[in-house]
Amino acid sequence: MNASILLGYTEAIRRRLHGFGCWSQPAYGFPGTPPSAIVYAVPEFLWGMSVTIGPAMPPLRLGVNVDHVATIRNVRGGQYPDPVRAAKLAIAAGADSITAHLREDRRHIRDDDIARLKAEISKPINFEMAATDEMVAIALKTGPHAACLVPERREERTTEGGLDVAGQHNMLASVVARLIDAGIRVSLFIAAEPRQIESAARVRAPVIEIHTGPWCDALGEGRRDAAEAEWRRIRDGATLARGLGLEVHAGHGLNYASAETIAALPEIVELNIGHFLVGEAIFEGLADVVKVMRAAMDRGRAKARQA
């Protein structure tokens, strides 16, 4: 292995571990290690877990977004249905983490939902947030496992488009640094565009989440050529990001079929899915639809391993 490839793997390892809240130091004084080695201190929540850097296909995690459980609650007010109860049901059915987006206008998730999720659930919280002073302060106070920075406009029905990391470099670099310094894993919700992916690496975000909405919309509307073009963009973007040492997630608009398809991309290690699951839960029950989604993702991963 030549020096440049070795350096690339070292940087990939550093990004992955630092993104999980690990810290590193030179190996001076550690018996049996060369002077150039780096020793990583791993937080307790990662003990027993493996961090895959090489070509082996890692497991695929499922993050369940409970925002739209809160949307239904807020239509009439009161406490029901409870997004925290939904989170617990999703975890029992196989979810690896819970995503919740605290918007500026509090249209679905509320501040007390975030506090209760942090206090009551047994899996990591992925706190979706705009990169504003208010949300950064809440994230630092709450201390979720992860924070996903997303664009946000009051007039939109749902998140439209990805962050413009290239155009907001200085601001986002500062927010990313503050969150990482607090031990929070940071991801950036972006389109699968090389300029944005490369900018994500430059602001030192350890994770990106690829916006799959345009691909899913094209699939649902039967626009085959557009869907194929979006799929190539996602595939190539995931490859580029992984080559830059970024961890790659994906989400927005995914259903059983599209989740099974995208699960075959080995670079992607986490899917975050919410609206479809909450909608199907009306007919089938939340626990059952999470299990069906988990099975669809596992089928997609298995096909890729056999290929």
Please give the full DSSP string across the chain, using - where no structure is assigned.
Answer: --HHHHHHHHHHHHHHHHHTT-EEEE-TT-TT--TT-EEEE--GGGTT-----SSSPPP-EEEEE-HHHHHHHHHH-SS-S-HHHHHHHHHHHT-SEEEEE--TT-SSS-HHHHHHHHHH-SS-EEEEE-SSHHHHHHHHHH--SEEEE----TT-SS--S---TTTTHHHHHHHHHHHHHTT-EEEEEE-S-HHHHHHHHHTT-SEEEEE-HHHHHHHHTT-HHHHHHHHHHHHHHHHHHHHTT-EEEEESS--HHHHHHHTT-TTEEEEEE-HHHHHHHHHH-HHHHHHHHHHHHHHHHHHHHH-
Residue 181 shares a structural domain with residue 87: yes
Residue 189 forms part of a structural domain: yes
Q: Give catalytic status of residue 252 as yes or no.
A: yes
As a residue count, the chain comes to 307
How far is Cα 285 from Cα 232, in angstroms, rounded to an integer? 34
Q: Give catalytic status of residue 145 as yes or no.
A: no
Write out the DSSP string of 8-36.
HHHHHHHHHHHHTT-EEEE-TT-TT--TT
Pair 205, 162: CB distance under 8 Å: no
Structure tokens at 152: 């946000």
pLDDT for res 19: 52
Residue 243 forms part of a structural domain: yes
Q: Give catalytic status of residue 128 as yes or no.
A: yes
User: Which CATH number is 277's domain given?
Assistant: 3.20.20.70
Residue 244 shares a structural domain with residue 144: yes
Residue 232 forms part of a structural domain: yes
Single out the residue of 272, 202, 242, 271 nearest to residue 60, CA to CA.
271
Pair 130, 93: CB distance under 8 Å: no
Residue 86 shares a structural domain with residue 21: no
Amino acid present at 304:
A
Structure tokens at 20: 């999980």
Residue 225 forms part of a structural domain: yes
Question: Per-residue pLDDT tens for 198-221?
Answer: 999 999 999 999 999 999 999 999
Q: Catalytic one among 209, 211, 252, 260?
A: 252
How far is Cα 17 from Cα 22, in angstroms, rounded to an integer? 5
Q: Catalytic one among 68, 108, 128, 270?
A: 128
Residue 123 forms part of a structural domain: yes
Residue 93 shares a structural domain with residue 228: yes
Regions of the chain where pLDDT drops below 50: 1-12, 14, 18, 20-55, 154-156, 158-159
pLDDT for res 78: 82
Residue 87 shares a structural domain with residue 226: yes
Residue 27 shares a structural domain with residue 151: no
Residue 79 shares a structural domain with residue 212: yes
Residue 51 forms part of a structural domain: no
Residue 235 shares a structural domain with residue 121: yes
Question: For the chain, what is the domain count?
Answer: 2
pLDDT for res 7: 38
Residue 16 shares a structural domain with residue 102: no
Which residues, at least 6 apart from 232, have a Cβ–Cβ distance to it below 8 Å? Answer: none
Residue 162 shares a structural domain with residue 35: no
Q: Catalytic one among 68, 101, 108, 145?
A: 101
Residue 82 forms part of a structural domain: yes
Residue 169 shares a structural domain with residue 39: no
- For 33, the domain range is 3-46
pLDDT for res 207: 97
Residue 54 forms part of a structural domain: no
CB atoms within 10 A of CB 76: 7
Question: Per-residue pLDDT tens for 249-264?
Answer: 999 999 999 999 999 9
How far is Cα 214 from Cα 160, in angstroms, rounded to an integer? 10
How far is Cα 97 from Cα 126, in angstroms, rounded to an integer? 7
Residue 144 shares a structural domain with residue 232: yes
Pair 223, 216: CB distance under 8 Å: no
